Amino acid sequence: MNRTLNPEKIGFDLGAKKNCDVLWMNAENYLNKWMFPFPVAAKRNAEDFVITVKVASECPKGPPQHGESEECE
C-alpha cells in the first residue's frame, strides 16, 4: 500500500524516553535532513504517521564521544 507522507504529519513516539532532548534532536535531524531534505508539500491528504523509537539505555547526556558508536544494538 502506498501512503502520502507530509513532514508536518509525521510524529515520533519515544515512549518512556519522551523527555530526552538528545533523542528529540536526533529525531528532528532525521526527519529534516534524511527523510525530507528539501521543502515538500503533499499533493493529496496525508495520513498521520508515527515512528516508534525504543531505546534500551538511559538518555544520553550529550553527543557520542570520540570512539563511541551511534549504532543501535
Q: Look up the pTM and report it.
A: 0.58
Q: With CA atoms as reference, report the closest residue to 9 among 26, 31, 37.
A: 31
What are the two backbone dihedrals, phi and then psi, of residue 21, each rounded to the nearest 5 degrees?
-60, -35
Q: How far apart are CA 70 and CA 29, in angstroms?
A: 14
Which pLDDT score is estimated for 36? Answer: 75
Q: Give the model confidence (pLDDT) of 31-68 as tens digits.
A: 877 777 777 676 677 778 888 888 888 887 766 676 66
Q: Is the pLDDT score of 73 beyond 60? A: no
What pLDDT was estimated at residue 22? 83
User: Is residue 1 scored above 70 in pLDDT?
Assistant: no
pLDDT of residue 31: 80
Residue ranges of domains in the chain? 7-52
At residue 47, the pLDDT reads: 77
